[in-house]
Amino acid sequence: MGKEESGKLEWRINVPGGTSKPLEPTIGLFSKIWLGLNALVLGFVFRVRHFFGKAWDIGVAEPRKVMHCLKVGIALTFVSLFYYMRPLYDGVGGNAIWAVMTVVVVFEYTVGATLNKSINRATATFLAGSLGLGVHWVATQSGQKFEPVIIGLFVFILASATTFSRFIPSVKARFDYGALIFILTFSLVSVSGYRVDKLFELAHQRVVTIAIGTSLCILISMLISPVWAGLELHLLINRNLEKLADSLDVCISEYFRENNGDPNKEGEDQIRKLQGYKCVLNSKAAEDSMANFARWEPPHGHFNFRHPWKQYLKIGTAIRSCAYCIETLTGCVDFGVQTSDLLSNQLKDVCVKLSSASTSVLRELSSTVKCMTRSPKLDFLVGEMNSAIQELQNASTTAPQQLVRSSPQQTVDTSNNFPGEHINGTEEATIMQVLPLATLVTLIMEVAARIELVVDAVDELATLAKFKQAVDTKPGRVQPKNEQISYNQNQEAIGAVQML
């Protein structure tokens, strides 16, 4: 039966004893396959496009990574000449593939990492090859019957001892890769010597090809757009100090924001600064790796031979100690406990003053590390921070008494309370309002106390690295000695606040 409604034609089938249902168009098997293939191809094209888009963004953001890829390609191209050119191939024989493998394995992003792997591989190969030849000579002199026994015994002893050495922290940090290559090379040379006649020639060719590969990697890494691990560590510490200062500044301003402020309206820049402490907390592995690789690098730029790279790790530890306190501070901000307006207004100025002074010290330390010069204003800024600690301690000690005196006394019926409980309603509310702010005050003072540890670590770096004295065009007031507070005195002030 045909039926026309709203200019459209609809077909229905009347089934006896049933209901009238519209007919649905059917899709053939070929159409389903075509739609599936179309969706699969479009999805693949979209993923490929998304991948190349992300790769392009990485290349634009970090052009040195693109240059590193090109350097690896150049090194592999040069080392491949040992296969393409007959005279070079005849000189090293079929072991030219070891040069290609060496370039692939040892070429790293930074110069220090490349030097670390190259020296480890070359030294381990030479030592293992020499020992392998010596063991082979001793085994051959013992007769054909005892030769496999002696070779197997030496392989067991040296492989076990070298493997155990990899568990020693000092060896694992600097020579772990060399120990691995030593086991591999010694096993190959000593075991293959049982069946290979020209063992000395084989070992010599492998040592030569590995030396060629490592030398090529070192030269290209140092001569073409070098990336120094020491410089990267130096800049990382500088950035962490700046991020810590930004996080502390934004955190305190967020806590004392006016009641009509809307945290959702904060810009991305403010949120990024507030979360900067997380980068500091997650940078330990990068600092340890860079410090290890920096020890292998030759003098470069402002970094002389035997530069105190270990001191950067001490600075990083002190910075992370401050970051842990700031992480707790952000928890106070997110918890959102309401405090008394009178108490908050009374402590707001001194808290902001201490936060500003601490931030100034951190930024001055960042400038000191970045420029590698002693700041003439650092002592004055530390004195200001200590003076702000005293002011905050005095204000936090007198604030609760003033709040209770300013609040109207109310009589509360205590007949229903438990025996021994006589709670005044005003005092109970005051305690609940004081505790969150007292926690904040304690954490701010703890951050300031830990910043002094960062100051001591940076000052020790300046002494060891022989930083030059910067010329201050605007000299500040000399801080009196009675305004300078030691770390222990700061801890006493924090203890007084915790008694609130």
- Looking at the structure, do residues 181 and 249 belong to the same domain, yes or no? no
> What pLDDT score does 152 carry?
87
Q: Is residue 346 part of a domain?
A: yes
Answer yes or no: is pLDDT of 220 > 90: yes
285: pLDDT strictly greater than 60: yes
Query: Which long-range contacts does 194-202 make (Cβ < 8 Å, 24+ apart)?
Result: 194/139, 194/147, 194/148, 194/151, 199/133, 199/136, 200/133, 202/95
The residue to which tokens 């007292």 are assigned: 438
Give the single-character DSSP code of 480: P
Confidence band, pLDDT 50/70/90 cuts, at residue 86? low
Q: Is the dihedral of CA 250, 254, 260, 265 positive or negative?
A: positive
Verify that 235 and 201 share a domain, yes or no.
no
Report which of residues 342 and 76 the model is more confident about. Answer: 76
Give which of 132, 119, 129, 68 is closest to 95, Cα–Cα: 129
Residues 355 and 457 in one domain: yes
Residue 484 lies in a domain: no
Residue 423: per-residue pLDDT: 40
Q: How many domains does the chain have?
A: 2
| Statement: residue 170 has pLDDT above 80 | yes
pLDDT band at 290 (very low <50, low <70, confident <90, very high): very high
Is 490 among the domain residues?
A: no
DSSP conformation letters of 366-395: HHHHHHTEE-TTHHHHHHHHHHHHHHHHHH
Task: Give the up-direction half-sphere exposure of residue 316: CA atoms within 13 A in the CB hemisphere.
Answer: 24
DSSP, collapsed to helix, strand or coil, labels residue 21 as strand
Find the CATH number of the domain harbouring 247. Answer: 1.20.58
Signed CA dihedral, 123, 124, 128, 129: sign only? negative
Residue 108 falls within a domain, yes or no? Answer: yes
Token pair 């790279």: residue: 309
Q: Tell whether 244 is covered by a domain.
A: yes
Give which of 55, 46, 56, 96 is closest to 76, Cα–Cα: 96
Render pLDDT for 56-68 as a digit per residue (tens, 0 to 9). 888 888 899 999 9
pTM score of the predicted model: 0.77
Longest dimension (CA), the chain: 107
**Maximum average pLDDT range among 197-206, 336-345, 353-362:** 353-362
- The mean per-residue pLDDT over the stretch 281-304 comes to 91
Identity at 413, one-letter amino acid code: D
| One domain, residues 235 and 335 | yes
Q: How much is the average pLDDT of 418-427?
A: 41
- Looking at the structure, tell me whether residues 206 and 274 fall in a common domain: no
> Given the DSSP bridges, would you call strands 468-469 and 373-374 parallel, antiparallel or unpaired?
parallel
Read off the DSSP letter of residue 307. Answer: -
User: What SS3 state is found at 303?
Assistant: strand
> With bands split at pLDDT 50, 70 and 90, how would you rate the model's confidence at 201?
confident
pLDDT value, residue 232? 93
pLDDT at 256 over 90: no
pLDDT number for residue 208: 84
Evaluate whether residue 11 is within a structural domain: no
Average pLDDT over residues 304-330: 90
195 and 104 in a single domain? The answer is yes
User: Picking from 14-18, 111-115, 245-249, 330-334, which range would have the lowest pLDDT averaged per residue?
Assistant: 14-18
Averaged over 382-408, what is the pLDDT?
72
pLDDT at 494: 45
Residue 116, pLDDT above cutoff 50 = yes
As given in the structure block, the two tokens for residue 435 are: 């505790």
Distance CA 164, CA 158 (A): 10
Q: What does pLDDT average to over the chain?
A: 78
Residue range 438-486, pLDDT digits in tens: 778 888 889 999 999 999 999 999 999 988 887 655 444 444 433 444 4
Q: Find where tokens 């690896």 sit.
A: 72
Same domain? 152 vs 275: no
Question: From CA 280, how far away is CA 306, in angstroms rounded?
Answer: 26
Compute the distance between CA of residue 95 and CA of residue 89 in angstroms, rounded to an integer: 9
Any alpha helices (H) in 144-226, and if so which ranges?
147-165, 169-192, 199-223
Closest CA to 392 of 335, 359, 425, 440: 440
238 and 365 housed in the same domain: yes
User: Would you put residue 467 in left (φ > 0), alpha (ψ -120 to 50) or beta?
Assistant: beta
Helices and strands per DSSP (H, E), number in the chain: 18, 5
Same-domain check for residues 380 and 349: yes
- pLDDT, position 113: 93
What range does the domain containing 308 cover? Answer: 229-256+269-402+429-467
Q: Are residues 64 and 173 in the same domain?
A: yes
Q: Is residue 3 part of a domain?
A: no
Are residue 279 and residue 374 in the same domain, yes or no?
yes
Q: Is the pLDDT of residue 94 over 70?
A: no
Q: What is the pLDDT of residue 263?
A: 47
Backbone angles phi, psi at 28, to 5 degrees: -75, 170
Choice among 205-214, 357-366, 391-400 with the minimum mean pLDDT: 391-400
Sequence-distant (6+) residues with CB within 8 A of 283 are 236, 240, 316, 320
Question: What pLDDT is recorded for position 276?
Answer: 81
Q: What is the mean pLDDT of residues 364-380?
A: 90
Query: Does 433 have pLDDT greater than 80?
Result: no
pLDDT for 222 equals 92
| Domain-located, residue 185 | yes
Q: What share of the chain is helix, strand, coil (3-state, %, to 5)?
A: 75, 5, 20
Same domain, 171 and 138: yes
Residue 134 structure tokens: 């010596």
Rg (CA), the chain: 36
In angstroms, how far is the first alpha carbon of the chain from the final one? 88
Q: Averaged over 144-154, what is the pLDDT? A: 85
